[in-house]
Chains A and B, each alone.
Chain A
Amino acid sequence: MWWEKKGQTSTEPQRPRAPSPPLHPPVRIEMAEPIPAAVPETSSPRTENPMNENLMKSPNTSSSSAHQTLLGGSVVLRGELSADEDLVIDGQFDGSINLKDHTLSVGQHGKVKADITARQVVVGGVVEGKISAKDKIEIRKTGHVVGDLLSAGVAIEEGAYFKGSIEIQRDDIKATSRSAASLSA
C-alpha cells in the first residue's frame, strides 16, 4: 500500500500495457518502523499526489517515464533505493537513492536524508545529503536543503533555504583545482 503506482486508480482508463519487469527489482528496503495499517480501498479518497501541483509538473519530465512511484506521507523507509522510473517522496527516507535517468521529487512533506543520484531532482521538502543530477536540480520555495549540489543546472526559488555547495558540471569545466593555481600564480 505504501508503494502506490500512479495511473492505477479506478478512474483512469485502462491502457494496454506491455509486459514489464518486476516493479522494483533493485530496491532493497529496510523498514525503520512497522508498516502502518493498510488503508481500506473504500476509505475517503486520498490524494495520489499530495505535493504541490507545480512541483510534480517539472518542465523537463522525462518522456520515457511511463511509471512514477510515490512514497506517501506516512511512509518511513531506510536503505538503498534504486529504480528505473520517476520517484516522488512525500514521506521520510534515510539512505541512498539512485534513479539514473529519472526524476526524484521530494514533496513539501517529504524528508530525505540521503545521497541522491538522478537525472533531475526537484525539492519542495527537506533534503540532507549530496545531490547529483545530470540535468537539473530545483529547490522550490518550500524547500530546505543542506548538502552539496552537483548538476548541469541549478535553480533555487526565492524563499528556499539552502546551506552547502553548488557546482555546475559543464564540459568546459574540467578541473576545479586549477582555480587555486591560477589565483596564486
Chain B
Amino acid sequence: MRGSGQETSAGLAPSPPVIAASQGLSWLWQHLREVTQPHILDCSAISPTTLNILLDRKAKLFVADLLSVSLDAEAKLWDRTQKIPVFKTADFISYFPDVPSGSLSAILSWNLLDLLPESARLPVTEKLFSFLQPLGVVFSILREPNLKSGVGRRWWLQSQTQVHVEQDQKRTFPYPPISNREIEKLAPGGNVKIFLTRSGRREILSIKG
C-alpha cells in the first residue's frame, strides 16, 4: 500500500511540521462520540494545547513522555555487555504511567513503535492494549519505508483533528520501518485502519476487539 509519501523521499528535507488535518483523528473522535468522558493516554511530552483540547473534550488524561524515553534509550535501555546488544524492554515498560487495566478509550502513541527495536514492539503493543477497554483505540503515526530521516520527538494537537510534530530534521530512524502486515500482527484481533498522508507517514488506528 503506497501513499503520496513518495514526495518526501530520502535525501530531501522532511515535510513541514504541520499535518493540516488528520483523518485518523477525525475517525477516532467519531468513534468516541458517545463516550462521555474518554480516558486517554498521551505518550508524548505534555503540551498545553493537547491538554486544553482533551480536557475540553472532558477526557481524563494520562501522560507519560515515552517518546523521549525511547529516543534517549541508548544509555539506559540497551545492555551492550553481551555479544549481542539487548534492549531492556521490561525497563522501558516500567516508564509507563499507572493506568488501570482495561480502562482507556484511546492511546495517542504517535511514532512510538518507530522508535523501538523489533524485539520490543510486540511486548510494548501488548502492554498498550492491556490498558484499553473493548473497542479502545491505539492511534499511531508511523513512517513510510521511504522516509529515512526526520524523527518526531514531540507531537501535540493543534485542534482535535490537527497534529503538530517537532522533529529532528537530520536524525535518521534507528530501526527498520514497520510494514502494514506487521502492524496487523501486532494488533490483537487484527482490526486496523490505515490512513495515508502526504507527510511520508501513515496514520494507524488499532482497535481492540
Contacts and interface: CB of A to CB of B under 8 A. Distances in A.
Smallest CB-CB A-B distances: 10 pairs: A166-B61, A162-B46, A179-B37, A184-B134, A167-B60, A165-B62, A183-B35, A163-B64, A179-B35, A180-B133
Contacts of A164: 62-63, 97-98
Contacts, number: 76
Contacts of B58: 168, 170, 172-173
Given A155-B48, A165-B61, A182 B34 contact: yes
Contacts of B47: 158
Interface of A: 154-158, 160-168, 170, 172-173, 176, 178-180, 182-185
Interface of B: 32, 34-39, 45-48, 51, 55, 58, 60-65, 97-99, 102-103, 105, 133-136
A179 B48 contact: no
Q: Tell me whether chain A's interface is mostly helix, strand or loop, or mixed.
A: mixed
Nearest to B60: A167
A48 B54 CA distance: 38
B134 A178 contact: no
A101 B55 CA distance: 24
Contacts of A154: 51, 55
A178 B133 CA distance: 12
Nearest to B37: A179
A156 B134 contact: no
B51 A156 contact: yes
Contacts of A179: 35-39, 60, 105
A102 B3 CA distance: 56
Contacts of B103: 180
Contact of B65 (A163, A172, A183, A184): A163
